Structure 1
Amino acid sequence: MAFAATASSAPAIPGSNFTRLSSSNELKASQVGSFRPVDRSHFASTSLNVSQRRNLVKPVNAEPKRNDSFVPAAATTAAPEVAEKVEIKVDDYEQLAKDLDGASPLEIMDKALEKFGDDIAIAFSGAEDVALIEYAKLTGRPFRVFSLDTGRLNPETYQFFDTVEKTYGIRIEYMFPDSVEVQALVRNKGLFSFYEDGHQECCRVRKVRPLRRALKGLRAWITGQRKDQSPGTRSEIPVVQVDPVFEGMDAGIGSLVKWNPLANVEGQDLWSFLRAMEVPVNSLHSKGYVSIGCEPCTRPVLPGQHEREGRWWWEDAKAKECGLHKGNLKQGEAVTLNGNGNGLAQSNGNATVPDIFNSQNLVTLTRPGIENLARLESRKEPWLVVLYAPWCQFCQAMEESYVQLADKLAGSGVKVAKFQADGEQKEYAKQKLQLKSFPTILFFPKHSTQPIKYPSEKRDVDSLMAFVNAFR
């Protein structure tokens, strides 16, 4: 099918019929199709045992332009005051996922926005998940959109962001990586270290940590994941789930709900919807790009290739996740395999993944070091120690808050440390250091031989600080 343009010709997306308008640099879909309208009666059988949320929310998608000093709500870590606390139960969402498994994306989107109001936001990457924004608009409910600007996106993606904002009358809440962390990574390893070391470290700095900050201001988020995107990692994703990796504003495991309205939609059907609704799309799609990420890590795919073949093409195709959806990886699966054949395995044992909790204000304890600390009956200062495994997703999830705590306690008289307790150290940690699961946090008081174990699953800075202050 030929691609028509006013000035020059460009290749078309397979199975599509796009026309470039002379007044715009963006693509508009011209083929008309159909989509399923929302059937609100379907929701009668999918109610949750959850406290009633507030009925009125500010229509974020209708806000006027914000000035430069405005801090988007998704970027805040402090939970706003609410009338009632939502109680999240894993079984509720497992049942809801079953009830909504045959529902349309519009129905699922409507249910998500209805349940969480202003405490939920759409994660928009600048690719075909623009369909999420279209579905949100069709529900008639207020909605929020955020995106991760890694600093290395294609120019076409930035242009697309601007077009989406103008088309839908919204302001995307952008999240940026920490400049100090990016500077350290680039200075130490160069601009393209991921070609040799694997993409995990770069993605962690530029994407995962900014996402973690965004999600700490939410109770739920909406993604564009589909089962057919990556058979190796996404084939079993449900339409709704308790997020297995990240934490929400209430902190702790189970404090964040993840919605995947497009989970059961096939790529060709999604594009039929985009064409039918004349939704603007990224101009990179017309150049052979299907899955779009950062410019150095994304390339067009050839006919017959799977869409994820264009992402991190120098690595193993079976497990291509940047870390945003690491919960899709089952225990024991490979996280990545770089071009040199050096595996970064996620396992219960000797994982060769990059270390975490890296800070000049954190002491790294060896086995003799923590043995000596545990034997002392009188210490000069108290110690806070995390027992961790670098491959553990829950350890990774608390990394930012623990490093912030170490920085906050610097010079206060409390030592903050870490001890890698997996592999051959695990049995010792279980017998002598109360280890049952990762992470385990211990406080060693000044005048006590027995360390005190942190009992809560809330691992935000304020909760950890309250624990320290109770004993120092």
Structure 2
Amino acid sequence: MALAVTSSSTAISGSSFSRSVASSDSKALQICSMRLSDRTHVATTLSQRRFSMKPLKESWVLRASTLIAPEVEEKEVEVEDFEKLAKKLEDASPLEIMDKALEKFGNDIAIAFSGAEDVALIEYAHLTGKPFRVFSLDTGRLNPETYRLFDAVEKQYGIRIEYTFPDAVEVQALVRNKGLFSFYEDGHQECCRVRKVRPLRRALKGLKAWITGQRKDQSPGTRSEIPIVQVDPVFEGLDGGVGSLVKWNPLANVEGSDVWKFLRTMDVPVNALHAQGYVSIGCEPCTRPVLPGQHEREGRWWWEDAKAKECGLHKGNIKEENGVADSKPVVVQEIFESNNVVTLSRGGIENLMKLENRKEPWLVVLYAPWCPFCQAMEASYIELAEKLAGKGVKVAKFRADGEEKEFAKQELQLGSFPTILLFPKRAPRAIKYPSEHRDVDSLMSFVNLLR
């Protein structure tokens, strides 16, 4: 039936086409029969008409061009308000928070797994059905039971944990100079910085966000204000600079007893040390079981004051107990310690400022050892110093807090910590590094282009 209709249409169209062709042929014969002078007149008239056309008005041209190629308005990139998001997720379940984190950051986010209750985070990530990454800091001093848990978790979830290790040269120097157990004598901060904080810093440089198992009830004096999600106040992420890393704490509002009920219900692997009275588990020499009624953090660095029971991984979430600072003076570990970094005194940096023709350029960081942003760039700066060693560039540091702060503000362009200055070979005034990107490549480019 359809074929018949199509044939009919074709026939009608064919008939119309025949009449049209016949008409055209007739007109063609009429034109051909015209005298030569008439044909010349017609051609001349058409030519005059073609070239006497008035140009389009400018407004019409503009309108036409707009219709053909409309302008694309540049949209401002929306910056996520994580404080607002944290409030929105305040009553959300850990599963919902985990799902949101993985959805937002995909392959650029990873779970920090310490081998204790953090296995709950892996279970939640598994339950979302989304792909996820897990990394862990292997300090080289973990319990055998912790390594066995790592293996069990990998097999249970079909994943590969991304292990991060401390720098062998730094560990060797620490052990040679101070022995294997120096932390019992002068505190755990130095050892933790070498074995945990610096490796963590390197691991986070490859991410845009990370997920931790921090809870408010782990240490009411220091972790009571942990948000669900935040811009990490200490560490830098993939893009470098302040604000380049986001930190998620899905268990922030969950009590430890509820975490354990969840682990038992889901029948997931747990560290065998938990059955022996260990609650919070770290390195073998620094962890022991707790007695009934003791807080879980009492088993960590038990020889130190209770207020010092943090390793530095979550320094940005620590507050003073009861909001009041301890009256005892706080011992701050020195940073930027390297054979390739020169320590400048006040007199030394004043002499450097006076020189107009220097034998070599100098790169100097103005720092305060307690500043988390200075601590965050420590590894990059030391690595840069190693790369510049023997290349005719001196790398130095000047402590610019306390009594030296006013001098540094007036004479050395100090705005905030850290401030990085380059003293070129032939320039009376230092050039201030303007960027928040303090990774090795960015600093190296700055030095190479201006030295």
TM-score range, shorter chain: 0.7 to 0.9
**Number of residue pairs aligned between Structure 1 and Structure 2:** 375
Partner of 2:383: 404
In the alignment, is the contact (CA less than 8 A) between 1:344 and 1:353 conserved in 2? no
**In structure 1, what is the Cα distance between the partners aligned to 2:90 and 2:122?**
20
SS at match of 1:183: helix
Counting only pairs closer than 5 Å after superposition, residues 67-466 of structure 1 correspond to structure 2 as 89=79, 92-330=81-319, 345=330, 352-466=331-445
**In structure 2, what is the Cα distance between the partners aligned to 1:88 and 1:303?**
50
Q: CA RMSD in A?
A: 2.0
Amino acid at match of 1:373: L
In the alignment, is the contact (CA less than 8 A) between 2:433 and 2:446 conserved in 1? yes
Amino acid at match of 1:281: V
Bigger share in helix: 2
1:318 to partner: Cα distance: 2.2
Higher mean C-alpha displacement, 127-136 vs 415-424: 415-424
Amino acid at match of 1:248: G
SS at match of 1:370: helix
Amino acid at match of 1:434: Q
SS at match of 1:318: helix
SS at match of 2:420: strand
1:333 to partner: Cα distance: 10
In the alignment, is the contact (CA less than 8 A) between 1:122 and 1:132 conserved in 2? yes
In the alignment, is the contact (CA less than 8 A) between 1:363 and 1:418 conserved in 2? yes
1:315 to partner: Cα distance: 1.2
Give the TM-score, by structure 2 length. Answer: 0.81
CA deviation vs aligned residue, 1:247-303 (integer Å, no higher than 9, x gap): 001000000000000000001111111111111111100000000000110010111
**In structure 1, what is the Cα distance between the partners aligned to 2:390 and 2:138?**
34
Give the TM-score, by structure 1 length. Answer: 0.77
1:319 to partner: Cα distance: 3.7
In the alignment, is the contact (CA less than 8 A) between 1:443 and 1:451 conserved in 2? yes
SS at match of 1:438: coil
**In structure 2, what is the Cα distance between the partners aligned to 1:315 and 1:87?**
47
1:406 to partner: Cα distance: 0.8
Unaligned residue ranges in structure 1 (runs of 5+): 1-85, 346-351
Amino acid at match of 1:147: S
SS at match of 1:280: coil
**In structure 1, what is the Cα distance between the partners aligned to 2:78 and 2:108?**
14
1:344 to partner: Cα distance: 6.7
Amino acid at match of 1:387: L
Unaligned residue ranges in structure 2 (runs of 5+): 1-75
Structure 1 380/332 Cα, relative in aligned 2: closer, same or farther at 3 Å? farther
Structure 1 333/194 Cα, relative in aligned 2: closer, same or farther at 3 Å? farther
If you compute each CA radius of gyration, which structure gives the higher value, 1 or 2? Answer: 2
**In structure 2, what is the Cα distance between the partners aligned to 1:377 and 1:179?**
40
**In structure 2, what is the Cα distance between the partners aligned to 1:303 and 1:244?**
35
1:215 to partner: Cα distance: 0.4
**In structure 2, what is the Cα distance between the partners aligned to 1:275 and 1:304?**
22
SS at match of 1:146: strand
Percent identity over the alignment is: 80
**In structure 2, what is the Cα distance between the partners aligned to 1:445 and 1:177?**
34
1:329 to partner: Cα distance: 2.5
In the alignment, is the contact (CA less than 8 A) between 2:307 and 2:321 conserved in 1? no
